[in-house]
Amino acid sequence: MSTLTGYWQSEADRIQQTLTEARARLATLRQDGQVARQALRAVQDQALTAANAQDTLRAALARIAMPADAKPLLNALNAARVSQAQAQSEQLRLEGLLAEWAVETDGLSQRMQALEAEAEVVARAWRQAQAEAAARAGFVAELQAGRWQDAVADATAALAAHEATARERVEGAFPASDATKPLLLQRLRDRAEAARDAHAQAELVEQATYAPAHPALAQAQRAHARAWAAVQAYADAAAHVADDTAALAALAALPTPLGPLTAAQADRLRFEGNAPRLARAEAMLALLKDVDDAEDTLRAKQAAYEQAWAAARAAKPDATLAALHAADLTAPLKARDDALKARKDAHKALTEHADHGLLQAWLADVPDTLWDALDRLDGARARLNRLKSGTALSQLLSALTLAESQHADALQAARLAQRQQAAAQQAWAILAARAEAEQARLLRRARLAWRGTAPVV
């Protein structure tokens, strides 16, 4: 598979080879130009000699007494005129060659300057790619055979040793009455998960609209960066194994049954001995769940609307938003608005309930120590389970290798397209300059053609 270092190395070699060929061609052009200039001076001298000879012959013709004596002079005059015309024709041809030579020489010199500038850019990119490849190789070595090579086994062992007890100590501090009712702990975790889902859903919408708005190279660069980010996330989890193990062990060592709560905190939070009050609070949690479910639905409908809007905007760039709403976006807009109304209704049912204040007070009674304990528990479990049950390192590295190869291939294709366009522009510039030079020679060429003494060149 291709690599970025390999690509930049091949680019450096290509530029150096092209420069070598260009320098050789420039040397040849300079020699050809010198020869052409010498030949031009020779034909200019020939034309001047023929013109002077004609003047001398005309003066001699003016002095003869008998017309019969003019014949040799007339023959010599005609020969001088033919010689001058031939010299002018050759001069015109050589001037054309020198004009083309100048155009090609200037174009080649400009191309060499561009290649030398490009060589510096490529050299920097090559050095950067080599440095990044070396750094990543060292990073991966730590994951495969260094200090983090046993991260998966260590994470699995930590979960087996401490997870169950740590969960019992922390989760047991939250209120529970009937397993069939929505409990405070589950609602809090669901809300935290919903926040993460909102971020993930926004990313999915952004990803879906990224490809149509960006060229293939940008897409490949992005995919490569994301593949590397996945490896870094694995490494981050691996680096925290020791800390997460210690956190689970500390939580598992908390006293039971109160966990990180004092008796007074447990009384306020768990409504000890007041089952009806706990039931009322949990009934409010059911209404809070309705709000959260409506929010989830709205988020999905909003995402569908945004994707449809992006597609319609691209398909009809001159249409107004009102026009799009009236045609392409009618269905997703209605679905989004219906979900918005459903969330508003659910929120109203919650906030206008008589026990809404009880729910707010109940949430406020969760002490910071319990929040901290829950954060440590969930954070440690998430990272350790990511290592234990997530994508294996070998798969992540294979995906990274593939993404880099596709990045290098896309880079090669994009830069080739740029060179092709630059070459087409240079060819056009050369031919345009040649046409301009031909325009300057047009009248002289026409006069020679009219005289019929020389071919049109």
pTM for this one? 0.72
- Distance in Å from the first CA to the final CA of the chain: 54
Planar angle of CA 72, 73, 77, nearest 5 degrees: 120
Pair 220, 322: CB distance under 8 Å: no
Residue whose C-alpha is closest to residue 7's, from 417, 395, 414, 421: 414
Which amino acid would we find at residue 429? Answer: A
Query: What is the C-alpha separation between 373 and 251, in angstroms, rounded?
Result: 7
Query: What is the C-alpha separation between 335 and 342, in angstroms, rounded?
Result: 11
pLDDT for 456? 45
Show the domains of the chain with their CATH numbers.
4-141+427-451 (1.10.287), 151-390 (no CATH)
Give the chain's length: 457
Q: What is the mean pLDDT of each run of 10 residues along the chain (457 residues)?
A: 92 95 93 92 90 87 77 85 84 85 88 92 95 92 86 94 93 76 82 81 80 90 94 91 96 84 82 84 92 94 92 92 94 96 96 94 88 92 91 92 96 93 86 79 66 50
How far lies 343's CA from each of 79, 218, 301, 333, in Å?
105, 38, 12, 15
How far lies 417's CA from each of 6, 76, 211, 404, 423, in Å?
19, 63, 19, 20, 10
How far lies 260's CA from each of 7, 60, 266, in Å?
57, 130, 9
SS3 per residue for 87-122: HHHHHHHHHHHHHHHHHHHHHHHHHHHHHHHHHHHH
pLDDT for 180? 67
Got the DSSP string for 118-150?
A: HHHHHHHHHHHHHHHHHHHHHHHHHHHTSTTTT
Planar angle of CA 238, 240, 241, nearest 5 degrees: 70
The tokens describing 153, both together, are: 């086994």
Give the 3-state secondary structure of residue 35. helix
- Residues 6 or more apart whose CB falls under 8 angstroms from that of 240 comprise 380, 383
Pair 146, 231: CB distance under 8 Å: no
How far lies 356's CA from each of 192, 229, 298, 315, 341, in Å?
21, 43, 23, 48, 21
User: Which of 231-234's residues contact partners 24+ apart within 8 Å by CB, and which partners?
Assistant: 231/139, 231/140, 231/143, 231/393, 231/396, 231/397, 231/400, 233/386, 234/143, 234/386, 234/387, 234/390, 234/391, 234/393, 234/396
196-220: string of b/e by CB count within 10 Å (b at 16+)? eeeeebeeebeeebeeeeeeebebb
Query: What is the C-alpha separation between 263 and 320, in angstroms, rounded?
Result: 63
Burial class (CB in 10 A: 0-12, 13-18, 19+), 239: middle
The tokens describing 72, both together, are: 């040799």
Query: What is the C-alpha separation between 282 and 398, in angstroms, rounded?
Result: 48
